[in-house]
Structure 1
């Protein structure tokens, strides 16, 4: 018989609420919460370990739960929760009645191994807004690049809003974090060309040969790339603009450049 929790005052539920809300709790416990069937399935496919499923069976279909459990290569604890408890833990207004507690991964540069001889990488320097990070991860998934590196991260990547805005693409992409210096050293040691999206001393992105190993580096919309990146690029690149402004949303800019790189590689 499954364990059941009906009170939002249950100590375990209080602990999970902190896990949802507080980055320091996620870091301390090395766990985080995933919401939704698709996102949990993507996490399993991405090699994440799911410890516990919390299910509101007034919403979730039993067959869907069984299919998920059967797809896991390990046993997962299942706890039935009431709608009130589910609403306490959920971040979405419309959901499928299922949440998971998963072990986080150490997103270290030294764990990265490329399958391709000429990897294509997206580097985002100091992204802060969960929505932008999620959009960048969706772009990376759509393009099918080899990795995403986050330099000087300002936001915990297991923030529920990043998981939500990435629609689970956090789990479909190889990700690593590090300082700008560490990532520059990593790229240079592997002879990976560094192309920084910048307004100064730049050439049009279409003129670059992206068939070779390449890292596309984007900065924040407010300040762009720091001097440390700009002084270490193979070439700075720019998207020619025809309007009155000189910048776009960072995920849009990344998508334009990355899809050009993929177009060249598929020619």
Structure 2
């Protein structure tokens, strides 16, 4: 097994660049993931790995070798020193394992639906990686058919998104596009557009979510753009009894998505 003990090693420098620079991820088509669960889910999602870094004082080498047994092509497994691990680890709880993986495309035409009445979560222009990760975890918990991000402000392989999604970014059906493209896609597929909005809205629980449904949420600061509201089949609202008129976007999305799942008998 190859060993790297210097932080000046070119491969280690590449890991740092991939962690810190969106441009590096986009131009190379590579990204960094950390942790055993994230590694396992990336493999489950059929992501291709190029290198796996193990700090053996924390992570048993045989455990990772066993996990990679059926992986083809098999990535290079590299033992790293404590100094290197501290340099490239994003957080202290990564369990001593990191990997470089190949990213994949997320165009709208990659989406296919298993259900006749799909349920889709659409988020317009989410900026905070933590919110995106939370939205993906909601989508995973509810087993929605797809997550679509309109006008994305950050790439899906940002380390904070991977971390906050706990790796389910690798196993969910996710697509990105601009707002016009996403609206066109939904209309072409005959999917009802339900926009979370404050104006001209009906209470969310009065809406029929058993038909092909897209639940569309915007940012907490500005909500959805006019383009969405102009093409909305129905605006929906979560009644609030306090002094403010908004909640965290991931919380709002969870309420709406699980009402749809309730109506569908959690199927």
Q: How does the TM-score come out when normalised to structure 2?
A: 0.97
Cα offsets for 1:51-73 (capped at 9, x unmatched): 11011111102332122112434
Q: Which runs of 5+ in 1 are unaligned?
A: none
Q: Within 2, Cα distance between the matches of 1:114 and 1:73?
A: 27
Q: Within 2, Cα distance between the matches of 1:207 and 1:157?
A: 34
Cα offsets for 1:17-62 (capped at 9, x unmatched): 1011000000000010010010011011112111110111111023
Cα offsets for 1:112-146 (capped at 9, x unmatched): 11111111000000000011011100110011100
Q: Within 1, Cα distance between the matches of 2:209 and 2:135?
A: 19
Name the stretch that deviates more: 90-99 or 204-213: 90-99
1:54 aligns with 2:22: no
Runs of 4+ that moved beyond 3 A:
none
Q: Within 1, Cα distance between the matches of 2:10 and 2:172?
A: 34
Name the stretch that deviates more: 89-98 or 28-37: 89-98
Match of 1:14 in 2: 13
Name the stretch that deviates more: 65-74 or 186-195: 65-74
Match of 2:241 in 1: 242
Q: Within 2, Cα distance between the matches of 1:135 and 1:245?
A: 22
Q: Within 2, Cα distance between the matches of 1:20 and 1:241?
A: 40
Name the stretch that deviates more: 238-247 or 65-74: 65-74
Match of 1:121 in 2: 120
Q: How does the TM-score come out when normalised to structure 1?
A: 0.97
Match of 1:199 in 2: 198
Size of the aligned set, in residue pairs, is 266
2:162/2:169 contact within 8 Å kept: yes
| Equivalence map 1:1-267=2 (5 Å) | 2-266=1-265
User: For 1:149, what is the secondary structure of its paired residue?
Assistant: strand
User: For 2:161, what is the secondary structure of its paired residue?
Assistant: helix
Alpha-carbon deviation of 1:106?
0.5
Q: Which runs of 5+ in 2 are unaligned?
A: none
Cα offsets for 1:201-255 (capped at 9, x unmatched): 0000001111110000000000000000000011000000011111100000000
Q: Within 1, Cα distance between the matches of 2:248 and 2:197?
A: 13
Alpha-carbon deviation of 1:12?
1.4
User: For 2:175, what is the secondary structure of its paired residue?
Assistant: strand
